[in-house]
Amino acid sequence: MSFVEYGDTIKDGDTAIVFLGHESMFPVKVHHGTVTQTKYGVIRHSTDLIGKKYGSRVTCSKGGWVFILHPTPELWTLNLPHRTQILYSTDISIITMMLELKPGSIVCESGTGSGSLSHALIRTVAPTGHLYTVEFHQQRAEKAREEFREHGVEHLVTVTNQDVCKNGFGVSNIADAVFLDIPSPWEAIGHAKSALKTEGGRICSFSPCIEQVQRTCLAMEEHGFTEINTLEILLRVYNVRTISLQIPDLGKAAEDNSSTGFDNSDPSSQGSSCWNLQQGTAQFKSGVPLREMVGHTGYLTFATKT
């Protein structure tokens, strides 16, 4: 099992996602002789998981069933153990695009945190690229190394435990992109510039407060970065539903079937009509935004080295 290579069957030692529903799933480490408890009953790894295909429906001891999914960075983001605040797919997608990442890219990241963005970056630069990630906290750095090893991506990532603001990333003039998610990113801009390739490298800084953004932009200007811009991604979800509206009474002409725009001689047209002239209503598809939406997560500041 690897987060960058798909495997058909579940093996001993794999990390799999137990899917109970869109709002209910969790990761599980597959081991011979182990059982996992769910609200639908027990899942026995030896008989119910190992050797089965990913995507299979597994029946639990109480008669209910779950799906066992192959792990992806997106699923891991929704299910990972939180050691810090994490980035979600909404921000991760724009970061990957704006940093112009592709297979073979070299990326530097600080800090590693819970590894949500790290897994997405590794999947993007695989199989020939590399991620250099720096984490200030020793225990979080060790846990990140352990997870990358378990997920089969340790050959694509180097984890370093040090203060990036003082010691940098440990590489020079090789990175295609640098990402900063630290309390004082302006103190690491010089080290980011040293890590980036000679010309054209991209940098991104994630900060929740606008004061951090202001100081970071000033530091970027001082170090000669250009094309500096800041984005805020707000996700607004629409609920698509069918609604019924009354047909307006426009007099005698409205009673004529031809005014509906359908050919009465065509049976298929009559059958597909959404008009209900007897009740005086018509059905339409409508998109309505949800009353609540995800609010501010952070500001993303991008720039280019020249």
Q: Checking DSSP bridges between strand 202-207 and strand 299-305, what pairing results, if any?
A: antiparallel
| 14 labelled ligand-binding | no
| 33 labelled ligand-binding | no
| 181 labelled ligand-binding | yes
DSSP assignment of the chain equals --SSS--SB--TT-EEEEEEETTEEEEEE--TT-EEEETTEEEEIIIIITTSBTT-EEE-TTS-EEEEE---HHHHHHHS--SS----HHHHHHHHHHTT--TT-EEEEE--TTSHHHHHHHHHHTTT-EEEEEESSHHHHHHHHHHHHHTT-GGGEEEEES-HHHH--S--S-BSEEEE-SS-GGGGHHHHHHHB-SSS-EEEEEESSHHHHHHHHHHHHHTTEEEEEEE------EEEEEEEEEPP--SGGGGSGGGGT--TT-HHHHHH--EETTTTEEEEEEEEE-SS------EEEEEEE-
| 93 labelled ligand-binding | no
| 263 labelled ligand-binding | no
| 118 labelled ligand-binding | no
Closest CA to 176 of 46, 75, 305: 305
| 63 labelled ligand-binding | no
Distance CA 97, CA 121 (A): 11
User: Residue 23: which residues within 8 A CB-CB, separation 6 or more?
Assistant: none
Instruction: Please state the residue numbers annotated as binding site.
Output: 114-117, 135, 163, 181
Instruction: Please state the residue numbers annotated as binding site for S-adenosyl-L-methionine.
Output: 114-117, 135, 163, 181
